[in-house]
Amino acid sequence: MQYDLKQLPDGHAIDCELCIVGAGAAGITIAKELAGTDISVCLLESGSLEWEDDTQALYAGKFSGTLPPRDPLESRLRYFGGTTNHWAGCCMPLNEIDFETRSWVPDSGWPINRSDIDTYYRRAQNYCELGAFEYGETLWNGLDVKALAFDRDRIVTRFFQESPPTNFAEVHGPTVLKANNIQTVINANVLGFNASDGGREITYIDIAALNGKRGRVTAKYFVLACGGIENARLLLLSDNQNSNGLGNDHDLVGRYYNDHLYSRLGFAWSAIPNIWQRHGLSEHDHEASNGWMRPSGDPVMIRPIASLSDTWQRKMGVLDIGVMAEEPEEDDETFPAARKNQPELRHRVSLVAQSETAPNRDSRVKLGSDRDALGQRRPSIDWRLSEIDMHTQETMAHAFGSEVTRLGIARMRVDDWIQNQDWTSAMGRENEPLSGNAHHMGTTRMADDPTKGVVDTDCVVHGIANFYIAGSSVFPSSGFANPTLTIVALALRTADTLKRQLK
């Protein structure tokens, strides 16, 4: 059932068992899992069913730090379906090492293992319209090109699977909007979570539409699923019991803000133009694996990623990182000296990396002094990179370059900014990408110990038993995999927990 707060009577009250705030990938997943049950659900969405400028403007904020993040006004979407309305569709689970406490990475480590969510990853494959749960080197067997014979102590190949990309509003939204047990309320902006019992229980939230209408939602359980910036911002704004905000007894809300670093490492001149690109598995393997063809008859596309092995990460003391090659082009430039004896190296490709950045307590989302159209303080985001982040870029560039040279398939020229270890020399230069990838993470991180994280292993806010947080804000560290598949997997896990709580 769908409602619009702009059209409801002012002061409208909703009472339910579960209130979900945010109708993006996480919120819609949880709602869909509960559709058709006996559990009464209210799903709140800040925006409408389509883009509206005044709602999108609520994302505005200020940015500072080593590398300003991509502006959420451009990179996030604030209407039903959230940012799945324009995401690229790249999917991959986090690697096992990404969950580990790594001695060379301060504040690393999840309180759960990869194996704890593998079941949910498999279910998330269906939500994202992907193939079988396979991302390793066995996928080479179904391709028409040979695997690259990297030294596996240094570099291994992993694969992205590409979602169509799935628009959660279009694919999963109809089930939610039609469910008799779910009230979906659009144009409903949360003003704050109100707690009782000394802040130990959330009792209700006040909501507002941009036309001035107000409302209130009372529930037994609440889920906050508004993204890595907004999740922290709403907790900080909810200060009726504690001036520091909810879940912030240890000054952790908004800290450890993280993003993936997207960078160009250099160029390669290659003899094999097609191995770096997107591939559909062979027809034989589609049939054998029973899940690599979409209903449309198109294959699920995959793309190889050269990544540093766990062994090399440990040896070199670096973070998780993967390298992709952009579309090759015939190169008419004068061959570099290293290519004079190999004229077959004629395909010039740009080598771009997506990498984990180290958890950093001083990278954070705070409340700024500017206010939005609802009178709420806007966010101020400070993202700081550290020495290990640069060391990771340099290590990947040289490991990859030496390996393709050893194999005789390419020569690489490493970009000057890496050679000089100078972030600023690459920022803002045309055709030399160095930016965040708008994967906002870490601001309500997961930890067993409430002095080290905001939520526990079930994504429940420490000390507030009826308050869950969903989305990448709970990631203690990020690996280099795009976050959506993990977001959906954790949302499925939370949905199962809530079913047990509310049965």
Tell me the percentage of the chain whose pLDDT exceeds 90. 74
Tell me the percentage of the chain whose pLDDT exceeds 70. 91
The residue behind tokens 């579309």 is 327
Q: Check whether 260 has a pLDDT greater than 80.
A: yes
What integer pLDDT is reported at residue 290 of this predicted model?
53
Tokens of 342: 């190999």
Strand partners, 219: 16
As a whole number of angstroms, the distance between CA 55 and CA 210 comes to 8
As a whole number of angstroms, the distance between CA 253 and CA 239 comes to 12
Q: Check whether 335 has a pLDDT greater than 80.
A: no
The residue behind tokens 């003899």 is 271
As a whole number of angstroms, the distance between CA 10 and CA 213 comes to 5
As a whole number of angstroms, the distance between CA 157 and CA 141 comes to 13
Q: Are 366 and 382 contacting, i.e. CB atoms less than 8 angstroms apart?
A: yes
In 162-212, where does DSSP find H-type helix?
A: 168-171, 173-178
What integer pLDDT is reported at residue 19 of this predicted model?
98
Q: Check whether 410 has a pLDDT greater than 90.
A: no
Q: What average pLDDT does the segment 252-263 reach?
A: 96
DSSP state of 242: -
What integer pLDDT is reported at residue 328 of this predicted model?
59
**pLDDT band of 287, cuts 50, 70, 90:** very low
Give burial (CB, 10 Å; 0-12/13-18/19+) of 22.
Answer: buried
What integer pLDDT is reported at residue 75 of this predicted model?
87
What integer pLDDT is reported at residue 334 of this predicted model?
47
The residue behind tokens 């982040």 is 389
- Cα torsion angle, 410, 413, 419, 422, sign: negative
pLDDT per residue as tens digits for the range 340-379:
566 667 778 889 999 999 999 999 999 999 999 999 999 9
DSSP state of 71: P
Q: What average pLDDT does the segment 1-5 reach?
A: 96
Q: What average pLDDT does the segment 435-444 reach?
A: 94
As a whole number of angstroms, the distance between CA 493 and CA 116 comes to 10
CB atoms within 10 A of CB 35: 19
**pLDDT band of 329, cuts 50, 70, 90:** low
**pLDDT band of 330, cuts 50, 70, 90:** low
**pLDDT band of 333, cuts 50, 70, 90:** low
Q: What average pLDDT does the segment 45-51 reach?
A: 97
Measure CA of the first residue to CA of the last residue in the chain; give whole Å.
22
How many H-runs (helices) and E-runs (strands) does the chain carry? 12, 21
Give burial (CB, 10 Å; 0-12/13-18/19+) of 44.
Answer: buried
Strand partners, 131: none
**pLDDT band of 331, cuts 50, 70, 90:** low
Tokens of 196: 């009782």
297 three-class SS = coil
pTM of the model: 0.95
What integer pLDDT is reported at residue 298 of this predicted model?
78
As a whole number of angstroms, the distance between CA 302 and CA 289 comes to 14
As a whole number of angstroms, the distance between CA 96 and CA 113 comes to 7
Q: Are 40 and 207 contacting, i.e. CB atoms less than 8 angstroms apart?
A: no
Radius of gyration over every alpha carbon of the chain, rounded to an integer in angstroms: 23
- Cα torsion angle, 211, 214, 220, 222, sign: positive
pLDDT per residue as tens digits for the range 205-220:
999 999 999 999 999 9
What integer pLDDT is reported at residue 326 of this predicted model?
78
Q: What average pLDDT does the segment 52-80 reach?
A: 89
The CA distances from residue 265 to 179, 191, 262, 401, 433, in Å, are 49, 43, 10, 10, 9
What integer pLDDT is reported at residue 389 of this predicted model?
96
Q: Are 351 and 266 contacting, i.e. CB atoms less than 8 angstroms apart?
A: yes
Q: Is 275 left (phi over 0), alpha (psi -120 to 50) or beta?
A: alpha
Q: What average pLDDT does the segment 22-45 reach?
A: 98
- Paired sense of beta strands 12-21 and 189-196, if any: unpaired
HSE at residue 306, side-chain half, CA atoms within 13 A, is: 29
As a whole number of angstroms, the distance between CA 332 and CA 347 comes to 9
As a whole number of angstroms, the distance between CA 40 and CA 16 comes to 5
Amino acid at 349: V
Kindly state which CATH superfamily the domain 2-502 is placed in.
Answer: FAD/NAD(P)-binding domain (3.50.50.60)
Q: What average pLDDT does the segment 246-275 reach?
A: 89
**pLDDT band of 145, cuts 50, 70, 90:** confident
Q: List b or e across 76-99, with b for residues whose CB sees 16 or more CB atoms inside 10 angstroms.
A: bbbbbbbbbbebebbbbbbbebbb
Q: Across all residues in the chain, what is the average pLDDT?
A: 91
The CA distances from residue 169 to 52, 394, 419, in Å, are 16, 40, 45
Amino acid at 165: P
The CA distances from residue 244 to 191, 228, 235, 236, 252, in Å, are 16, 18, 9, 6, 10
As a whole number of angstroms, the distance between CA 98 and CA 136 comes to 16
Q: Which residues contact 11 (CB under 8 A, 6 or more apart)?
A: 214, 215, 216
CB atoms within 10 A of CB 484: 28
Which of 6-10, 214-218, 270-274, 387-391 shows the lowest per-residue confidence on average (mean pLDDT)? 270-274
**pLDDT band of 278, cuts 50, 70, 90:** confident
Phi/psi for 231 (5° steps) reads -60, -50
Q: Check whether 2 has a pLDDT greater than 50.
A: yes
What integer pLDDT is reported at residue 284 of this predicted model?
46
pLDDT per residue as tens digits for the range 298-319:
788 899 999 999 999 999 999 9
